[in-house]
Structure 1
Amino acid sequence: MYIKNMPRQIRIEYPGAHYHVFARGERKDNIFFHNEDYLKFLEKLKENLEKYNVNCLAYALMPNHYHLYLITNEANISKFMQSLNSSYTNWIKAKRDIVGHLFQGRYKAILVDKEEYSDVVIDYIHFNPVKAGFKKLPWQYKWSSCKYYTDKTQDLSFLNIEFILSKYSDNLNISKDKYKQNLVNKENYDLPHRNLFKGIALAGEKYKKEINKLITNQKEDIDLPSTKMNKKRGAEFYISLIKNHFNISEKDIFNKKYNNKFRKYFTYLTKKYSRLTNIEIAVYLKIRPESVSNLYTRIKEEIEGKKEYKADMRKIKCEITRSDP
């Protein structure tokens, strides 16, 4: 299991993980322009699925973005996605004479609780073209996997449809009929993304516990998602956190003795992960507001460079993450 260090999102990787992955064009510009482009992306997708031992359960390729449902048999979603996006980017930029970035930032990878949310996510992916107004029925859209779930004459070698269809019947044709009827009867095809667990997963209660264990046992540094930067993360929150973690007093935190690491941690956390202004932070540190930014820059370099500081900060970040609902 690995937890990747990336801005604004913890990325958990482990064998057997399910992901809803999506990526959008720069400035919401198109990433597909002609039928040939969609076909090339599917070709690249197939190549990388085989190369990295990843299963694809569903996809929807829209003009300016795409959705994938993936299962990684190894802890390698980052390597897979980097290879997929870069290989397609290199091809399309050469083919269409595109200058600059193709994709808008990094792709998003949301962990999916396979027991409670796999059906929901795959239905959402299949309804994406309907929601965008391209077709009235999801299986009518050419560049999604839905037709392979509903049409008895359609098959795609690299697509794993059995994971979902086996829930309906042992007979594939019957399963396709039942799945199609499920789509016909479906009234709501939105994802509960506002209820993401820790900003990274669609999870039931059991899976939430598993994610907390993965975060606790992580071996690499993590960054906190932007959702942590809210008004609840004020000075008192970080004072209490540092006091309890190190079993010290508030006086110990703000002692101006040379090289006081607790004071450094307070400065780093409030400056980076709260909405406190320099003036507000300065009141606690008893320094001039204009000195806060320079102090933070120096402390940031120390924390990211010293093993002791990095280890302490990693544990503190894990405590913050575990404490979130």
Structure 2
Amino acid sequence: MPRCARIKPENAIFHIMIKSISEVPFFKNNSDKNMYIDFMKHYKKIYNFKIYAYCFMSNHAHFIIDANGADISKVMHSINFRFAINFNKKYDRQGHLFQDRFKSKVIHNNRYLITASAYIHRNPVDIGEYKNSLEKYQYSSLSVYLGLKKDPFDLVDEDFIMQLLDTDVKKARKRYTKIVYNENKNFEKKIEFKDEKTHYKSERTILVRDFNPDDILQFISEKLAIPKIKLHIKNNRASTKARALSVLLMRCLCDFRCKDICKTLGNISQGRVSDLCAMGVSIIENDEHYRNIVSDFISSYSA
């Protein structure tokens, strides 16, 4: 039976679930979860999507992802493909790892958004040691929602969902605790909320991915003071950083695939484009001068 086309409007927020094939738990240990998280963080920098909630179990994981104008299928395929390759290499195995495609549901309203996040955060309830202390489960964003600690993985943006409950942080956390723990007041009394925030303020805007690649090349040329023509020259060491940042911006802001970038730059393989994109991510992670290059470009060409 042919697969149905996935519904993926560009302004959607998705409840995503990934699941391994029945005979293989793909999170055998914490290092496997950390590996998947590393790939999520990597592609988050490329596609500029947002994660509003997460929970990793042994054979599945749930996320709430704001695609922020990106193609959710490209996002999840990129993450899952990289993870499957590295998982198989790590455990010396071959074959499929994921059970079919990832499952996704478009979240149509705020009530479903809050309910879905609470459902995700209740996933560890069947693990004995966490049944009465869900907030202590390490690979869930619940403790971040309740202000018990900062996200150790730097993945989640909890403000957007929490401000739907109340802009006052204390009130929002109390209400969310009741939702997750089914109105059980004992849990609310047990949890001591931190007070590092006083108000939630989170506005949602959608990043439109229709920028002109030629404008990107011009922007990079000027920012790095390198002739634009050199961005099209293969194996030019002087232009490698500029080409890497150009590729990253095209992946993020033009909704380009590797083969589209090949056509734009000319005389370059898809493998090299992928390498340059990874290099671009490394540059914005490690060089403060380029950390905000995506927003800098958007500001320059949206004015």
- Whether the TM-score (by the shorter chain) exceeds 0.5 is yes
Identity of aligned residues (%): 30
In the aligned structure 1, how far is the partner of 2:171 from the partner of 2:10? 31
**1:1-325 mapped onto 2 (5 Å cutoff):** 7-131=2-126, 135-136=130-131, 137-155=133-151, 157-186=154-183
Paired residue secondary structure (1:74):
coil
In the aligned structure 2, how far is the partner of 1:59 from the partner of 1:133? 20
In the aligned structure 1, how far is the partner of 2:9 from the partner of 2:91? 36
State the Cα distance separating 1:138 from its structure 2 match. 2.2
State the Cα distance separating 1:97 from its structure 2 match. 1.6
Classify 1:150/1:84 alpha carbon distance in 2 versus 1 (closer, same or farther; 3 Å).
same
State the Cα distance separating 1:167 from its structure 2 match. 2.2
Classify 1:143/1:28 alpha carbon distance in 2 versus 1 (closer, same or farther; 3 Å).
farther
In the aligned structure 2, how far is the partner of 1:59 from the partner of 1:81? 14
Give CA deviations for 1:278-300 in whole Å, capped at 9, x if unaligned: xxxxxxxxxxxxxxxxxxxxxxx
* Mapped contact 2:17–2:102 kept (Cα < 8 A): yes
Classify 1:28/1:173 alpha carbon distance in 2 versus 1 (closer, same or farther; 3 Å).
farther
Paired residue secondary structure (2:4):
coil
Of structures 1 and 2, the one scoring higher in RCO (CA 8 A, sep 6+) is: 1
- Provide TM-score, normalisation by structure 2: 0.55
Classify 1:75/1:154 alpha carbon distance in 2 versus 1 (closer, same or farther; 3 Å).
closer
Q: Which has the larger radius of gyration?
A: 1
Unpaired segments ≥5 residues, structure 2 = 185-303
Classify 1:132/1:22 alpha carbon distance in 2 versus 1 (closer, same or farther; 3 Å).
farther
Classify 1:172/1:23 alpha carbon distance in 2 versus 1 (closer, same or farther; 3 Å).
same
Give CA deviations for 1:218-272 in whole Å, capped at 9, x if unaligned: xxxxxxxxxxxxxxxxxxxxxxxxxxxxxxxxxxxxxxxxxxxxxxxxxxxxxxx
State the Cα distance separating 1:28 from its structure 2 match. 5.0
Q: Which range moved further: 168-177 or 37-46?
A: 168-177
* Mapped contact 1:89–1:102 kept (Cα < 8 A): yes
* Mapped contact 1:152–1:176 kept (Cα < 8 A): no
Paired residue secondary structure (1:69):
strand
State the Cα distance separating 1:119 from its structure 2 match. 0.8
Paired residue secondary structure (2:86):
helix
Classify 1:132/1:155 alpha carbon distance in 2 versus 1 (closer, same or farther; 3 Å).
closer
- Give me the CA root mean square deviation: 2.2
- Deviating 4+ runs (over 6 angstroms): none
Q: Which range moved further: 82-91 or 176-185?
A: 176-185
In the aligned structure 2, how far is the partner of 1:185 from the partner of 1:108? 26
In the aligned structure 2, how far is the partner of 1:142 from the partner of 1:89? 23
* Mapped contact 2:56–2:140 kept (Cα < 8 A): yes
In the aligned structure 2, how far is the partner of 1:85 from the partner of 1:121? 22
In the aligned structure 2, how far is the partner of 1:16 from the partner of 1:37? 31
* Mapped contact 1:28–1:64 kept (Cα < 8 A): no
Classify 1:178/1:34 alpha carbon distance in 2 versus 1 (closer, same or farther; 3 Å).
same
In the aligned structure 1, how far is the partner of 2:128 from the partner of 2:80? 26
State the Cα distance separating 1:186 from its structure 2 match. 4.7
